Structure 1
Amino acid sequence: MHQKLEAAAALAQAHETPWPRDPAAAPAPGQQPWGVHHDDPPPYNRLFGPVHARGPQSGVVWQHGRERFAWGEPERADLTFSVAKTYLALLAGVAEAQGLLPDLDRPVHRQLPGIGFDDSAHNRAVTWAQLLTQTSEWEGSCFGLPDTVDRWRKVAQDPRAAGGPKGGARPLQSPGSYWEYNDVRINQLALALLHLFRAPLPAVFLDQMLHAAGGGAGFAWRGYDDAWIDLPGVGRVQSVPGGSHWGGGVSISARDQARIGQCMLELQRGRRSGPIRASWIDAMAEPSPVAPFYGRLVWLNRGGRNFPGASERAMMMLGAGGHTVWVDPVLDAVVVLRWLDAASAPAVIRQIAAALQDG
């Protein structure tokens, strides 16, 4: 196994993401601009929150609860982009276990009036379940960013054909009937969870997930510069985004990402008690009827087509810039890949899968 993992790590390190390591640096020949915000229509093609320099291509491989291999800088806390979406799903699982989310099919506005879900008949129909599967079709602006900026967005893992130009005026569908990868709607979910917990989401995640898993060093979850609200009875609190599309987001080490994935496996198999029910982890991995390649803010591999080499029960957390957290209950494994060129990710996953099958 060691030799196969060593070869997979060498392949990954030879194909680091083409982004500069410094977000402020101009791309060198053969590189791409840092981030994804520059693809948005103006005036939204800029950063709204802080970012920081990154480390090298890195990774860790765990199986049967033990670290089998690591490379690069696995202790470095780096931005992880849309992997943070799955962290929102885990926070929703904490809320469900605490009795704060008794009914996912309940319209959000009935529980949380006055935060953008009761301003139209369309938005009043939006449920928690739809927000967690990216099928809400919520319409509006969240901290200066309109949902329209991410309409018609096409991401590499979406098997459907592109429908129109990003940011175009795609007609809205009824909530629950259409899947779209939309970061503004994810940020609206984060705002709703902040109101639900009545506490900063970074503190809840650190206490309920990371500290419980034995990690947390260097962890940060930052919001946009103007994403502050006055929460009645609590005070001034920053709402955080579910990624780093426009800056901010989660900074975390590869090993802490592996700890979170391992916690998910152990909760799912009943090997530990924790802040989330096993049934919630199972539900995260259930295909959405509208988008069977997607669950509750995780990418799925049913049929083995999306991520060849991984099992059909694998859950994938993905982030721009080359971030993958692969949680595989069949292989009893967690794999974290950071700053890997997306074009090389399938080959690296296949090589790691072949090594894990020996274990």
Structure 2
Amino acid sequence: MSAFDEAITFSQAHEIPWPRDPAADPARWGVHHDDPPPFNRLRGPVHVRGGVSGVIRVRGKEVAAWGEPDRSDQTYSVAKTYLAILAGIAQSRGLLKADERVSDRLPGIGFDSEHNRAITWEHMLTQTSEWHGECFGMPDQVEHNRRVSHDPKPPAGKKGELRKLHAPGTYWEYNDVRINQLSLALLHLFRKPLPEVFLDEVLRPIGGGHDFRWEGYDDSWVEIDGKRIQSVPGGTHWGGGISISARDQARIGQLLLDGGAHEGRHLVPREWAQRMPVPSQTAPFYGLLTWLNGDGRMFADASRSSWFMFGAGGHTVWIDPDHDAVVVARWLDGAHSKEFVSHVARALG
């Protein structure tokens, strides 16, 4: 009998009320329905999902698993954190500096306006950029005034309603269009498909990658060095995004918990891995595309050192340095995530 049986049973009893087949009841599946028309539609592929699954690792070893931990499912905004990992790899190669302006490195891809010229890579990675424009036909305004469950501030207006922009670095907003613009910028840095980079530099070296997919929108193709490459989104808000197993998510969480190292080799620079959960000045609940529990507001029973990757649809990757643990939960109804975390916290001791 596992110490985590109570948490596992609880999660299995609280599956998110989305249909498992997106085609079965489209109006109850996904998050794009909340967007103002004509942007409330899917633009990339989606597929049938599995049920509640999860993996728990303690001190580097898997101690519990449930559901279908090897099933590859779309993971929504957990993919944002993978973009932050790629940015760290880019910095280690001299392709970017976190505090430099994106426009200095990449003119001509949407950072050249008077407002956008001041945006740094760190602004993009902390969701404080206030980037303004269109990314593959999607204006940033689509995500103005968006409210997500762990955002402590109330929205200033109706979602999609134009609001006054703030200076880059001074205002936090969860905005998937800006995340997609960050992904496009990283593609221009690496000059090769990001799914290929992520597989080669992260997933395969840690023993993962089976059935991994990272898909873009039907129209998100660009030409770089004479090659047609698909730019991929940092989530599945409008379809596409990353499909990955719970075990691979746990492997990635373990990599970050271990300071970016696997079997003595740093796949992600230690300094970068340590920086990812550092609170941003503008939004102390947020690091580099990661959520933080420093004040215990998100999860009172989780350690204050805990940090998280979240995705719509009930996806959580929880990294707990105090207990040397990584916890992955998938397709868990978000209304019950706090209770699930409390169950796991008690088992961790």
Scaled to the shorter chain, the TM-score interval is: over 0.9
The more displaced of 263-272 and 13-22 is: 263-272
Q: Alignment partner of 2:115: what SS?
A: helix
Pairing 1:259–2:254 present: no
State the alpha-carbon separation in 2 of the partners of residues 271 and 347 from structure 1. 34
Aligned-pair identity (%): 60
4+ residue segments displaced more than 2 Å: 267-273
Which residue pairs with 2:165 in the alignment?
172
Pairing 1:81–2:76 present: yes
**Amino acid corresponding to residue 52 of structure 2 in structure 1:** Q
Pairing 1:353–2:345 present: yes
CA contact (8 A) 1:301 1:312 kept: yes
- Provide Cα deviations, 1:100-144, integer angstroms capped at 9, x if missing partner: 12x2111111100110001x1001111101000000000001011
The more displaced of 60-69 and 263-272 is: 263-272
Which one of the candidate residues 90, 94, 99 is aligned to 1:95?
A: 90
Q: Alignment partner of 1:4: what SS?
A: coil
Which residue pairs with 1:17 in the alignment?
16
**Amino acid corresponding to residue 183 of structure 1 in structure 2:** D
Give the superposition deviation at 1:264. Answer: 1.0
**Amino acid corresponding to residue 66 of structure 1 in structure 2:** K
Give the structure-2-normalised TM-score: 0.98
CA contact (8 A) 2:22 2:29 kept: yes
The within-5 A match list for 1:185-264 is: 185-233=178-226, 235-264=227-256
CA contact (8 A) 1:15 1:340 kept: yes
Give the superposition deviation at 1:340. Answer: 0.3
Which residue pairs with 1:336 in the alignment?
328
State the alpha-carbon separation in 2 of the partners of residues 106 and 267 from structure 1. 24
State the alpha-carbon separation in 1 of the partners of residues 205 and 296 from structure 2. 32
Give the superposition deviation at 1:4. Answer: 3.4
Give the superposition deviation at 1:268. Answer: 5.3
State the alpha-carbon separation in 1 of the partners of residues 307 and 331 from structure 2. 19
Give the superposition deviation at 1:309. Answer: 2.2
Unaligned 5+ segments in structure 1 are none
**Amino acid corresponding to residue 88 of structure 1 in structure 2:** L
Which one of the candidate residues 62, 76, 82 is aligned to 1:67?
A: 62
Give the superposition deviation at 1:270. Answer: 8.9
CA contact (8 A) 2:128 2:171 kept: yes
Pairing 1:128–2:121 present: yes
Give the superposition deviation at 1:273. Answer: 2.2
Which residue pairs with 1:148 in the alignment?
141
Pairing 1:50–2:49 present: no
Give the superposition deviation at 1:327. Answer: 1.0
**Amino acid corresponding to residue 72 of structure 1 in structure 2:** G
Give the superposition deviation at 1:353. Answer: 1.2
**Amino acid corresponding to residue 323 of structure 2 in structure 1:** L
Q: Alignment partner of 1:316: what SS?
A: strand
Aligned-pair Cα RMSD in Å:
1.3
Which residue pairs with 1:299 in the alignment?
291
State the alpha-carbon separation in 2 of the partners of residues 126 and 227 from structure 1. 23
Which one of the candidate residues 266, 269, 274 is aligned to 1:274?
A: 266
- Provide Cα deviations, 1:211-231, integer angstroms capped at 9, x if missing partner: 111110000000000000011
Pairing 1:290–2:282 present: yes
State the alpha-carbon separation in 2 of the partners of residues 107 and 114 from structure 1. 13
State the alpha-carbon separation in 1 of the partners of residues 102 and 143 from structure 2. 22
Give the superposition deviation at 1:275. Answer: 2.2
The more displaced of 224-233 and 86-95 is: 224-233
Unaligned 5+ segments in structure 2 are none
Give the superposition deviation at 1:53. Answer: 0.6
Give the structure-1-normalised TM-score: 0.95
State the alpha-carbon separation in 1 of the partners of residues 144 and 188 from structure 2. 26
State the alpha-carbon separation in 2 of the partners of residues 128 and 214 from structure 1. 30
State the alpha-carbon separation in 1 of the partners of residues 12 and 262 from structure 2. 35
Cα 1:270–1:251, aligned 2, differ >3 Å: closer, same or farther?
closer
- Provide Cα deviations, 1:81-109, integer angstroms capped at 9, x if missing partner: 000000000000111111212x2111111
CA contact (8 A) 1:57 1:340 kept: yes
CA contact (8 A) 2:260 2:267 kept: no
Pairing 1:115–2:109 present: yes
Which residue pairs with 1:8 in the alignment?
7
State the alpha-carbon separation in 2 of the partners of residues 267 and 289 from structure 1. 22
Which residue pairs with 1:181 in the alignment?
174
Which residue pairs with 1:137 in the alignment?
130
State the alpha-carbon separation in 2 of the partners of residues 272 and 135 from structure 1. 34
CA contact (8 A) 1:267 1:273 kept: no
Which residue pairs with 1:308 in the alignment?
300
CA contact (8 A) 2:255 2:262 kept: no
State the alpha-carbon separation in 2 of the partners of residues 90 and 272 from structure 1. 18
